[in-house]
Amino acid sequence: KAYNDQYGHLKGDELITGIGRIITRHIREKVDSGFRYGGDEFTATLPGANLKQSCQIAERIRQSMEEAESKKITLSIGLAEYDFKVGVNIFVKMADDAMYIAKRSGGNRIHLMTNNA
């Protein structure tokens, strides 16, 4: 909202498109999926990637966005590892909670949420 207010909705749309491109550039083609989740939130699924690999991918996305926008826009990224025992709803909530923790911790960071956290 603040970006749209300052730069206009067309620039805001360009920013959203640019974020999508950055995510697509850093995930594996025909393996991972990246998409807009709603508003200014995006999701990437990384099947088969372990936590270390997922953190590396998230950091590359975060860093690329920071560089592309000259620090005007930063990303707060929440990571969660899927566990068949907890199911999809808990998994999505864990990722969402992790993202909000990253935001409340100052933004421009990644927070990992595990079943043990």
Task: Say how far apart CA 102 and CA 105 lie, in whole Å.
Answer: 5
Q: Is 83 marked active-site?
A: no
Helices (H), 1-117: 2-7, 9-26, 51-68, 87-104
For residue 14, give every residue at least 6 positions away whose Cβ sits within 8 Å of its Cβ, in sequence order, or none. none
Read off the tokens for 89.
Answer: 């709803």
Task: Say how far apart CA 37 and CA 28 lie, in whole Å.
Answer: 19
Q: Which of 5, 13, 32, 40 is catalytic?
A: 40
Catalytic residue numbers? 40
